Amino acid sequence: MADYKWPAAENRSLIGKRISRLDGPLKSSGRAKYSFDVNRPGMLYGKMILSPYAHAKVTKIDTTAAEKMPGVKAVTLIWEVGKEVQWAGQEIAAVAAETEDQARDAARAIKVEYEVLPHLVTDATPQQAGADHSKQLSEQKTGDPDPAFAQAAATIEGTYGSPVITHCCLESHGQVTEWQGDQLTVWASTQAVSNLAGEYAPAMEIPAGNVHIITPVMGGGFGSKFNSDVWGFACARLSKKSGRAVKMLLERDHELMVAGARPSIYAKVKVAAKADGTLVAWKSESWGTAGPGSAGNPTLPYVFRPENRSSRHTAISTNIGPARAWRAPNHPQMALITMSALEDLAAAVPMDPLDFFLKNIELTGTLAKVYKEELLKAAELMDWKKKWHPRGQMVAGPIQRGLGLSLHTWGGGGHQSNCNCTIHPDGSVEVSLGSQDLGTGARTVIGIVAAETLGLPLEAVKVNIGDNHYPASGASGGSTTVGGVSSSTRRAANNALNELLAKVAPSLGGDAEQLEAVGGVIRVKGDTSKFLPWKQACAKLASTPITAAGQTSKDLISSGVGGVQMAEVSVDMETGVVRVEKMVAAQDCGLVINLKTAESQVYGAFIMGITYALHEEKIMDQQTGRCLNADMEFYKLAGLGDIGELVVHMMTGPGYDDRGVIGLGEPPVISPGAVISNAVANAIGVRVPTLPITPSKVLAALESKGAKA
Amino acid sequence: MEAFEYARPASGKEALELLGGSFADSEILAGGMDLISLMKNYVLSPKRLVNIKGISEFSGIRSTQQGLAIGATTTLQELIEHKTIAADYPGLHQAADAIPSPQIRNMATAGGNLCQRPRCWYFRNGFGLLARDAKGNPLVPGGDNRYHAIFGNDGPAYFVNGSSLAPALIALSAQARIFSANGWREVAVADFFRTPRNDNERENVLQPKEILGEIVIPSASKGLRTSTYEVREREALDWPLATASVALKMSGNKIEKASVVLGYVAPIPWQAKEAGDWLAGKTLNEETAAKAGEAAVQGAKPLSGNKYKVQLARVCVKRALLAAGRA
């Protein structure tokens, strides 16, 4: 019998190797069919009318004119008269028409009247926002910071933070819906294939079993695509009314206005150390906005836990738009605030921040050993000791270079996953589960685990995912997919193999316990002369395939990773333009299933992180209540020329592999803002307090430094 | 976008007949890089588009007695690849070459680059060319004006002109040749642009039944040195925050005559005459270049959120001058 425990390093044929993703050729050649690419016979296009006001009561909705527009087949209301909208971009009603342009024109012909109410869309402090908009969310105190500050050798105070940014998924939110009788099919761009039927069913008043969700590939979610959303239900209603399939994916401006935002978090920090660099006290007052709700609640300081610390957070309610989980909720903001303050403190001690972080490494708790190994590895890859210079030490000419570093952590674990593994009598193998591949490489990981378990090459396994007709398997959030699907697949494939071994045992000496599947054969352990090629072994099944199930298995996975990143930047002191020269990551995620896609996750996170460090901001206009940059012209994402050299080192081997599989979606995107901010401070000799670090802010920081000098 | 008629005339004369008496009637289409998105966003809704790309008299680059004539429908890529432009007018070549991306350079035209509408997010979000609220109050001074004008911003226009080519062409004293029912007329590219005073005016002198057909650059004289320097936030698809194009008549190290034109800093390409005048007779070096940068921004009046652009303009002038000297 085969054991489901992960194979030892010397027995792995696929796990931990660099393997290209299974859907790479399909995606790079444009043949992969995203929800956007689904075109059904007779399909209509859906478009919505949005509130232009950030805060208003809807007093009238008149769809009469729209219903008479050319090509219009259905109109449905999303909002109600009398109800207040809380952000510009709130969906009011939707239409379906024969062409996209007809639908757009018809949506504009819906007449909506509003009673405009006062709004707040600025990223205000609690003092500016006032009591009506402020709510204290948390207060924590350990030890007593004040006496510790009094005795400290070095104390710094600073304000740090980052604004509201959006998810800006390249495939915007939305879906294609189609009814056949009371059966609803939804080609959804979603992170939660197995969960959506449960949302559509009550809304459409049909049993969940009548809802078919299909997402073979999808173009980015980052935490913003867990639900059906109002546009999903509106699309299904338009389909129902018109009797036609309807495609309704958000326009880019709509996507940026409402389909996801990361809360802003700012903090006033005071932090102190002894003369030898030992961190002794932390105090912070933080605030931020997540729109009208109160998401975004940091735990400060991040990673390091000095003996004396206190923190308080206040949420500011605004009409800036709704927040959604953004890749590692709270963590990038917590890392920026904490690591910036600690780097400023190290400069004040003064100390090389690498030495400062190492000096305080025990304050990180259980991951201290991991962090220490990663700091040393990253320092080696960055050539830190050779390149680093004390803050403010300049070279001739306008271009100054600087280094920065940061630590981060995340949970991971595994979502609840069910997997079926089927071995057919012809030797072909299928693994099926409902979860989706957000672009992370989940599909390939599933294939690798099944193939490794069955002793087959990767191409011998057909991976069926992204469909709720496959066994229910969790949403992709919080870095839980790889833990869930790898362990359920391992168990399912192992169970199926054991059934197969029992069938072929009579042909190979009779004892299934003595059999193993390796290198495309079923063989007797320790006796290479007794084997059956895979295909011949499967032929013993006669006409009935084996299907075995597996579920998430806690003993195959783990939770809690540490990561270290470093950045080298150059700053043009005359223009304030920052260029990322090099980024280094040393990242732990337990047992790596596919080294290539794991590294890709980190590369992608670097690019996303460079983007929010240097460019991203949801720019709101208090006068009009509107988002000014709801387009990809001024909502700026980094491109190839902006990313510098990216170096990724995955921590593997003893001490890492034996922890089991841990997720990697969130961790690498946490530190880039902090490392770039720290590198800029090191380069120019002064802190740029908030992200994004634009030329305007760099020049302002230099000017304030000049004024102080 | 609203439904519209589409016409593809074969001659300039035919094109004129298709153009209406007001901008609401018709718009001229060439590369469509700007116009189509404005139409998709319902910022512009012309009844008819007149595509001039197939009209031979507005296309191609040719040498004439007056100098080098660049047809309005010449793509940026054709302009970049043109050997004479690269050799004789590097400042123009650099300005075109810096425009991202390859897709845009292959479609966008020289004429369209001059005629594109303002880069103002209030305008592009439907608040009108002069960006005013329902009561007629200007939105830019009290709003987010990080990308707005630092010169010529006394109102009612606060936007910046988004042409990268115009400053380089103005520095070269290029002429715009405009075709209408009365035949061709010429106007200096410097005078082609104007600041609109109301929402019915445009940002240039073209009337609804006129076509920018050609741009003529005077032949390069001995000692001509040109350069363009721009600052932008991203290497990827992005607009410059400021640019400076300079044209110098040099004799050895000495500047006989200088023209300094700033881009993305005013509702029109901004001629820094003080800087040009000051440079005449000077030796070009780090110090004089820096002083010229200082002179160029003397009259700048930043808005609430764009003071940094003054520094960028200053540096652009200095670096453009030094690069021209090295050329």
* Domain ranges across chain B: 5-53, 58-115+163-218, 224-326
Of A615, A623, A699, the CB nearest to B233: A615
User: What is the reported pLDDT for B155?
Assistant: 86
Cβ–Cβ of B233/A629 closer than 8 Å? no
Q: In order of start, what are the domains of chain A with their CATH numbers? A: 9-17+414-436+449-556 (3.30.365.10), 35-117+174-249 (3.90.1170.50), 261-412+558-708 (3.30.365.10)
Query: Does B121 contact A577 at a Cβ distance shorter than 8 Å?
Result: no
Check A622 against B239: CB less than 8 A apart: no
For helices A229-242 and A197-204, give the axis angle rounded to 10 degrees: 50
Nearest CA in chain A to B137: A623
- Distances from the Cα of A698 to the Cα of A108, A389, A572, angstroms: 42, 19, 9
Please, where are the H alpha helices in A69-110?
100-109
Q: Do A615 and B127 touch (CB under 8 A)?
A: no
Pairwise CB contact (< 8 Å): A695 & B124:
no
Region B5-53: CATH code:
3.30.43.10
CB contact under 8 A, B133 and A623: yes
Q: Specify the CATH class of B224-326 in words.
A: alpha beta
Question: What would you measure as the largest C-alpha separation in chain B, in angstroms?
Answer: 59
Nearest residue of A to residue B121 by CA position? Answer: A628
Region class of A587: left (phi > 0), else alpha (psi between -120 and 50), else beta: beta
Question: What pLDDT is recorded for position A528?
Answer: 83
pLDDT of A437-483, one tens digit each? 999 999 999 999 999 999 999 999 999 999 999 999 999 999 999 99
Q: Do A639 and B306 touch (CB under 8 A)?
A: no
**Which of B133, B147, B315 shows the shortest C-beta gap to A574?**
B315
The minimal CB distance from B308 to the residues A615, A624, A696 is found for A696
Nearest of A210, A219, A164 to residue A191 by alpha carbon: A219
For residue A411, which phi and psi values (nearest 5 degrees)? Answer: -75, -85
- Which of B310, B311, B317, B318 should we substitute to test contact with A (largest number of A Cβ atoms within 10 Å)? B311
A696/B133 touch (CB, cutoff 8 Å), yes or no: no
Predicted local confidence at residue A709, as pLDDT? 54
Note the pLDDT of residue A331: 98
Burial of B62 (0-12, 13-18, 19+ CB in 10 A): exposed
Cβ contact, residue pair A636, B125, below 8 Å: no
How many interface pairs between A and B have CB atoms less than 8 angstroms apart? 85
- A323 pLDDT band, cuts 50/70/90, is very high
Q: Are B97 and B227 in contact (CB under 8 A)?
A: no
- CA-nearest of A443, A449, A420 to A432 is A420
> What pLDDT band is residue A493 in, cutting at 50, 70 and 90?
very high
Closest chain B residue to A109 measured between Cα atoms?
Answer: B2
Q: Tell me which of A47, A257, A628, A688 to substitute to probe the interface with B (most B C-beta atoms closer than 10 Å).
A: A628
What topology does CATH give the domain B58-115+163-218? 3.30.465
Q: Does B2 touch chain A (CB under 8 A)?
A: yes
**Structure tokens of B133?**
């609220």
- Displacement of CA B264 from its chain's centroid (Å): 9
Residue of A nearest to B131 (CA): A624
Contact A626 B234 (CB under 8 A): no
CA distance B103 to chain A (A): 15
**Residue A294 pLDDT > 80, yes or no?**
no
Pair A700, A276: CB distance under 8 Å: no
From the list B41, B82, B70, the residue with the least C-alpha distance to B212 is B70
Summarize the confidence of residues A618-636 as an average pLDDT. 97
Q: Does B104 touch chain A (CB under 8 A)?
A: no
Query: Do A624 and B1 lie within an 8 Å CB cutoff?
Result: no
Q: What pLDDT was estimated at residue A2?
A: 80
List the single range of A300-304, A506-510, A514-518, A647-651 with lowest mean pLDDT: A506-510
Does the distance separating the beta carbons of A104 and B1 come in below 8 Å?
yes
Contacts of A696 in chain B (CB under 8 A): 146, 305-308
**Distance between CA atoms of A406 and B34, rounded to whole angstroms?**
42
For chain A, say whether B103 makes contact (Cβ under 8 Å): no
How near does any CA of chain B get to the CA of A622, in Å?
Answer: 7
Residue in chain B lying closest to A701 (CA): B308
Residues of A with Cβ-Cβ distance to B2 under 8 angstroms:
105
- In this prediction, residue B299 carries a pLDDT of 95
Q: What angle do CA A4, A19, A451 make, to 5 degrees?
A: 30
Pairwise CB contact (< 8 Å): A637 & B1: no
The per-residue pLDDT for A295 is 74
In 10 A of CB A705, how many CB atoms? Answer: 14
Residue A708 has what pLDDT?
A: 65
Of B42, B121, B237, the CB nearest to A628: B121
* Regions of chain B with pLDDT less than 70: none
CA angle A294, A664, A641 (to 5 degrees): 90
Can you give the pLDDT at residue A296? 79
Please, how many CA atoms are within 13 Å of residue A444, restricted to the half-sphere of its CB?
24
Confidence category of residue A392, pLDDT binned at 50, 70, 90: confident
Report pLDDT for A626.
97
Closest Cα in chain A to B139: A623
Task: Read off the pLDDT of each residue in A302-308 and give the average, rounded to a whole number.
Answer: 97
To the nearest whole percent, how much of chain A has pLDDT over 90? Answer: 97
Question: Please, which pLDDT band fits residue A418 given cuts at 50, 70 and 90?
Answer: very high
Is A624 within 8 Å of B315 when comparing Cβ atoms? no
8 Å CB contact of A104 and B233: no
| Nearest chain B residue (CA) to A639 | B236
Nearest CB partner across the interface for A628, out of B144, B236, B311: B144
Chain A environment of B321 (Cβ under 8 Å): none
φ, ψ of residue A627 to 5 degrees: the values are -80, 125
A500 is written with which tokens?
A: 């197969």
pLDDT of residue B109: 98
The shortest C-alpha distance from B109 to chain A (Å) reads: 19
B286 touches chain A (CB under 8 A): no
The predicted-structure confidence for A107-144, as pLDDT tens digits, reads as follows 999 999 999 999 999 999 999 999 999 999 999 999 99
Q: Is the backbone peptide bond immediately before B156 cis, with ω within 30 degrees of 0? A: yes
Question: Which among B143, B231, B307 has the least Cβ separation from residue A621?
Answer: B143
Interface contact A575-B315, CB threshold 8 A: yes
A681 burial via Cβ count (<10 Å: 0-12, 13-18, 19+): buried
Whether B231 sits inside 8 A of A695 (CB atoms) is yes
Percent of chain A with pLDDT over 70: 100
Asked if A575's CB is within 8 angstroms of B234's CB, the reply is no
The residue of chain A nearest to residue B309, with distances taken between CA atoms, is A696
Burial B171-207 (b: 16+ CB within 10 A, else e): bbebbbbbbbeeeeeebebbebbebbeeeeeebbbbe
Residues of A in CB contact (< 8 Å) with B are 101, 104-105, 108, 574-577, 614-615, 619-624, 626, 628-634, 636-642, 694-696, 699-700
Distance CA A592, CA A664 (A): 10
Q: How many CB atoms lie within 10 A of CB A131?
A: 8
Query: What pLDDT is attached to residue B180?
Result: 98
Q: Do B311 and A699 touch (CB under 8 A)?
A: yes
Strand (E) positions, A215-353? 246-249, 261-262, 265-273, 279-289, 308-316
